Chains A and B, each alone.
Chain A
Amino acid sequence: MAHDYLGEFEHLVLLAVIRLDSEAYGAPIRRLIAERAERDVSFGAVYSTLRRLEAKGYIGFTVEPSTSPEGGRPRRIAHLTESGQQAVDAARRRLERMSDSLSERIPVGPN
């Protein structure tokens, strides 16, 4: 299924959106990827990918009022759509199938 294909970075961003849930906007997504995937990406790459994922129909946005006590601008929060969930699921299964029974042949890193 060609349209389910996810680039690596797209995959990371989708996973970050799932993990962050109601906090899924630019800065936390970028931070999460930096911390967990150890990739210091620019905001530009994050926004561009979010835009592309939205165009593919994998994510949608809802506008949430600011949570800051001083008030402020409302935020656009990303959330996974149904086809987004399918795409993540398909990607995960593809990875599992590819790495199935290869665990003893892949050298284990320090962590």
Chain B
Amino acid sequence: MRSTILLLARTYLRLCGSRYPAEVLLDVREELERRRTAGLGALRAFVWALRQVAVVGLYELRDWYRLPRQVRPGLAFALSVRSIWRRPAVPLVAATTLGLGFGAAAAIYGTYAGFNRPLPLPDGDGVRWVRLLDDRGRAVSIDGEDLRLVADLPEAFDQVGAMQTASLSLRSRLGYPVRVPSAALTPELFELLGAAPALGRLPALGEEDVVVLGHEIWRDHFESDPAVIGQEVRVDGVPRPIVGVMPPGHEFPFSERVWTSLSPTAETSGMEIVGRLGAGVEVQGVADAISSRLHARRLARDDTASSLRVEVPPFTEKRGEGGENLILATLLVLVVALVLVSCSNVSNLLLARALGRVDLLAVHAAIGAGPAQVFVQMLTEALLISLAGAVVGLGLSAAAINYIQSTLSGHWGYYWMRVQFEPAVVLFTLGLAVVAGTVAGLLPAVRLFRTDLSDVLRAGSAAVAGSGRGRLSAGLLNVQVAVSALALIIASLMGGALLRSRPAPELRADDVFILSVFLDGARYEESEDRRTFRDAVAAGVAARGEVSEVAWANVVPGLANSFERFEIEGVDRDPDTRPVGAPVIVADAGYFEIFDVRPVAGEGLDGFSGTDELVAVVNSSFVEAHFAGRPPLEQRLRLQRTGNERWARIVGVVADLPAYRGEDARSRARIYVPFEAVEPRSFHVLFTGTDDATQAVHAELSSIEPDLGVSPLFGLGGQTRVSDVVAFISRIYQTGGLLAVLGGVSTALVALIGLYGALAFEVQRRLAEIGVRKALGADRNSVLRFVCRTGLRGVAPGLLLGLLMSAGFSPLLGVFLGRMNARDPFVYSGVFLAFVAVAAAATLVPGMRAARVDPVEVLRAD
């Protein structure tokens, strides 16, 4: 708490232009301690210190603006505090408005910063990787000889090593093997990383076949026993000594849990080269040198080898991120722009408020406060309001950031990505608040600075309001409306995705367990061997009481299925259109039973083993989407991947098995192929039974294949249900949707306040004109209509611009939109209508005030 307050104070002082903030704080602290010793209460001492720091900042600002020395920032501060305290309504609205914007901006900034961290290693910034691409932009595999050529480059890397990621089966003390993500690193790479083990040591040069455990594996599977160092553990069936345990949080390179040593030969392929560049070495020069060396080597083997493009980015960059950075950066720019634009709203509110007490300011001026003093006071008020907004924003962003980290951290897969509420977020928010406060305060401050306040005593507020609003303000209001419309559309689309991604109620998810199996190695090269293994497991499990039903499939309902291209016999496809695809699920008959998938026509998935002909079963949505009234049975499909370009005869139709609500027929379409026809190496065992069922299946698998690592999909221990999968996938939409809805609603609120403030000011400015209209016979309704029309017409260009921007931007949101169409006409027209309604509501209050204007009074006052 104390350090946060000090950080906030130091940031504030620095932003105000202080060159020695630490010195100021030391002085204030020294005096504070003296006062406390003299008996001043803690709260009063704190308030005194706060005031001192605030006033130092204001003095800095005064000097920065080169205002006359007669200006007294301390007095301005005291008067501002009193003014806000006595009339808190407008400051409260303004602080909330700004706070919403600050909160959104800080949350996005925090997420962006969390995604773009350096490697959490000593000098992690300096670690780079070598990215090799062919002329079509595809990744090129790197082998041991490539590594040697790169390591031998003179004046390139200080240190260079290589790594290979895989998963391996580790037989832990729990009695059964688990499948864990692992990385094999060359000893040079271990040394280059500079990460020290928490226990034991790292593999030495030339030492092979040793294992280093991750902290979580050591904790969960080896009971945090320090005696594991030196003991042997079976890795992929081979006993290897454990030499070290890494500290918590170390998951280099991506999210690995176990490390082995790598001794690359010319045959070792699929590696990644990692190194630290030498001091003063130019990156592009190194990339070019690597490119020419590796290309020359490939040309020597094959003279048609394509040229190589080499990049040497920092280790955490170019990791196949799906445009999240672009989306976050765009959102950040938009939100910051919106905050700055909403400053004009706050400006208008403050100006309208100043008009209400302009006579008081005039009295101040009359008794000696110069225009500069009034200027500083207006600026101080705006800054205080903005800083109060920053406190609101910090609270909101802390909640949002914690929510994002707690719900989404599992989705990223890169261990350095960690979204957290950190000092950088606080600095960012305070910086934004000082800029926004200054911008918001300048307009009223300049207006009053330029007004001869002695005129005010004669003519009242008209002396200030007389100067017109420029095109700039109208432009700003439209920018604001455009951004708000964009935010509302994004919010509605993501909100729609949120609703549609809720689990479908008919999916049996709570009592179906999953274990994932990967039949590695030469023993399972042949599909008959895999079949034999599976039959043995099925027989063993059937004999146990814990498991009641078993099914085999290559996918789990709810997890994204990869689409596979297919062709329907006799249907010519227009070559210009995108090829059609649908998920192909390899499953056995038990899959339909366990999820209660009803047959609609023809047969199911059983009874087709051993035949040479490939058969398929499709679901009702597939028939609806691709057969349009024709009978599907006995038609043939050519399946590109699963069927290896073979034709599959459709033998049956089954009902849909929806995982989420809101899927349309095309996205529900599925093709099922019998498990026996493919016998994939990687598959899931799905089963029901008692709470011990997972243990039982584990035991059965390891009794047949002692070193076969299986993973329960999430986490390394425990059990996974289908509902966990569905919840995991839903969470990404829920988080994105919830944040977008909050963001959209708050930006719309900001725009609403802006529109209201602008119109209220406009009505005030045009009182005389309205008075003349009424004197010439306009009735109340026509004045009301006139004001509403003026307001709506004023924001129409912004609204149209916002709709166009949305149509361009929302397709970029990709995965966050889930099953929503990025240009859903209902959403667009709904937002349009909502905006018109909201704008009409915002014009109503000023319109009604205008309608009540008494022409005689107005014209007399003029």
Given A42-B52, A44-B52, residue A73 in contact with residue B62 (CB < 8 A): no
The answer to whether B23 and A26 touch across the interface, beta carbons within 8 angstroms, is: yes
Find residues 72-108 in chain A having any chain B CB closer than 8 Å to their own CB: 72-73, 75-76
- Measured in the bound complex, the distance between the Cα atoms of B57 and A43 in whole Å is 10
Pick from A30, A42, A72 the residue with the most CB of B within 10 Å. A42
| Nearest chain A residue, comparing its CB with the CB of B33 | A27
Given A42-B52, A43-B24, A73-B23, residue A30 in contact with residue B31 (CB < 8 A): yes
- Measured in the bound complex, the distance between the Cα atoms of B69 and A76 in whole Å is 24
By a CB distance below 8 angstroms, the chain B residues around A43 are: 24, 27-28, 31, 52, 55-56
- Interface presence of B818 (CB below 8 A): no
The answer to whether A42 and B55 touch across the interface, beta carbons within 8 angstroms, is: yes
Interface size on A, as a range, is: 10 to 19
By a CB distance below 8 angstroms, the chain B residues around A45 are: 59, 74
| Nearest chain A residue, comparing its CB with the CB of B63 | A48
| Nearest chain A residue, comparing its CB with the CB of B31 | A27
The answer to whether B22 and A44 touch across the interface, beta carbons within 8 angstroms, is: no
Task: Say whether chain A's binding surface is mostly helix, strand, loop, or mixed.
Answer: helix
The answer to whether A47 and B31 touch across the interface, beta carbons within 8 angstroms, is: no
The answer to whether B27 and A26 touch across the interface, beta carbons within 8 angstroms, is: yes
- Measured in the bound complex, the distance between the Cα atoms of B38 and A31 in whole Å is 14
- Interface presence of A51 (CB below 8 A): yes
Smallest CB separation, A56 vs chain B (Å): 12
- Interface presence of B58 (CB below 8 A): yes
Tell which of A27, A30, A48, A75 touches B62, judged by Cβ atoms closer than 8 Å: A48
Tell which of A42, A52, A73 touches B26, judged by Cβ atoms closer than 8 Å: A73
By a CB distance below 8 angstroms, the chain B residues around A44 are: 52, 55-60, 73-74
| Nearest chain B residue, comparing its CB with the CB of A41 | B74
By a CB distance below 8 angstroms, the chain B residues around A30 are: 27, 31
The answer to whether B23 and A76 touch across the interface, beta carbons within 8 angstroms, is: yes
By a CB distance below 8 angstroms, the chain A residues around B56 are: 42-44, 47
- Measured in the bound complex, the distance between the Cα atoms of B22 and A72 in whole Å is 11
- Interface presence of A25 (CB below 8 A): yes
- Interface presence of A69 (CB below 8 A): no
By a CB distance below 8 angstroms, the chain B residues around A71 are: none
Smallest CB separation, A22 vs chain B (Å): 16
- Interface presence of B20 (CB below 8 A): yes
Smallest CB separation, B346 vs chain A (Å): 25
- Interface presence of A7 (CB below 8 A): yes
The answer to whether A47 and B30 touch across the interface, beta carbons within 8 angstroms, is: no
**B residues lining the A interface (CB < 8 Å):** 18, 20, 22-24, 26-28, 30-31, 34, 51-52, 55-60, 62-63, 69, 73-74
Q: Can you pick out 23 interface pairs between chain A and chain B where the beta carbons lie within 8 Å of each other?
A: A7-B69, A25-B23, A25-B27, A27-B26, A27-B31, A31-B31, A42-B55, A42-B56, A43-B27, A44-B58, A44-B60, A44-B73, A45-B59, A47-B18, A47-B56, A47-B59, A48-B59, A48-B62, A72-B26, A73-B23, A73-B26, A76-B20, A76-B23
Known: A47-B56, A52-B69, A73-B22. 12 other contacts (CB 8 A): A7-B69, A25-B23, A26-B23, A27-B30, A42-B56, A42-B59, A43-B27, A44-B52, A44-B60, A44-B74, A45-B59, A48-B62
